[in-house]
A and B are shown apart, each in its own frame.
Chain A
Amino acid sequence: MIALSDYLILSSIVFCIGLAGIFINRTNIIMLLMCVELILAAVNTNFIAFSYFNGDLAGQVFVFFILTVAAAEVAIGLAILTLMFRSRGSIDIDVTNTLKG
């Protein structure tokens, strides 16, 4: 029988893979967005595992809201990405240094 700690360890491994992906692909914004999606999938697995092992449906409802917010985030993020590609001709993070901050 698979215990709760196995699910938690699996989701923490995937979370850290997403974290490493942000470190590795830090110049490509599309890859950054996809790594955030990976992290969210790991966190949702965490929520659902706790929901199942505690017999409480609140975790699944929370995952539902996380999916909603993530869909909105992706839609607006890709819209901003399209605008940035129009104005700069590239989606690399290195070209977004015009503010000189």
Chain B
Amino acid sequence: MEFTSVLFYIFSFFFVTSAVMMITARNTAKAALLLILTFFSAASLWLLLEAEFLAITLILIYVGAVMVLFMFVIKMLDTDKSTLRAQFTRYLPLGIFVSIVVIAQMVLVLNAGQFDLEVIGVPERHDASYSNITAIAEQLYTVYVYPFELAAILLLIAIIAAITLVHRNQLRSKKQNISEQVNVQAKDRMRFASIKPKSSKESK
């Protein structure tokens, strides 16, 4: 057995085991930590598939940003008190049944031989001078430049939507009140102040 095959089985063991432990965890914070382990093993599998850029991106963005956001929300909302686990066993048989049926169908379809190495050929490994990031960047900035810009706009929309959803108090906002601005009179804006001028002799 090759060394990469051994690595594949180790990483997939962690992948599946941590996923099972995540969905059955009673504590939500523990589930988030197990999901981080799942992402790490997924990133290791992607490294085996020569997708270095996406593996690093998965760890940086998902473990570094998204899961930290999850942990913040879990700790902020105090979910352990409000979590209902009464229906845990009620839908457990249905979930297991559906999963086993879908897995059996997938295995029957995928293991039929059309994806074997003899059929699609063994892909050759790139040498050490090959840069996955350069190859992806060439694709992203030429063929997929328009979807790339759209993704940037989507992230901007997500930022604005998240801030406007959560931001509640209008403490320091410079929001305009249109009716107040239209109904303003001249006397509201200007004030005549009568200031007595000092005599020039006193100032001297």
The interface of chain A, by Cβ under 8 A from chain B, is 1-10, 12-28, 30-31, 33-35, 37-38, 41, 44-45, 48-49, 51-55, 57-58, 60-61, 63-65, 67-76, 78-83, 85-86, 89-92, 94
The residue in chain A whose Cβ has the minimal distance to the Cβ of B121 is A53
Whether A25 lies near B162 (C-beta < 8 A) is no
Chain B interface residues (CB < 8 Å from chain A): 2, 4-5, 8, 12, 15-16, 19-20, 22-24, 28, 31-32, 35, 38-39, 42, 45-46, 48-51, 53-54, 57-58, 61-62, 65-66, 69-70, 73-74, 76-77, 79, 82-85, 87-88, 91-92, 94-96, 98-100, 102-103, 106-107, 110-111, 115-117, 120, 122-123, 132, 135-136, 139-140, 144, 147, 151, 154-155, 157-159, 161-162, 165-166, 168
Complex contact B66–A71 (CB within 8 A) = yes
Residues of A within 8 A of B24 (CB): 24
Question: Could you tell me the dominant secondary structure of chain A's interface residues?
Answer: helix
- Total A-B pairs, Cβ < 8 A: 229
Partner of B83, one of A23, A28, A34, A89: A28
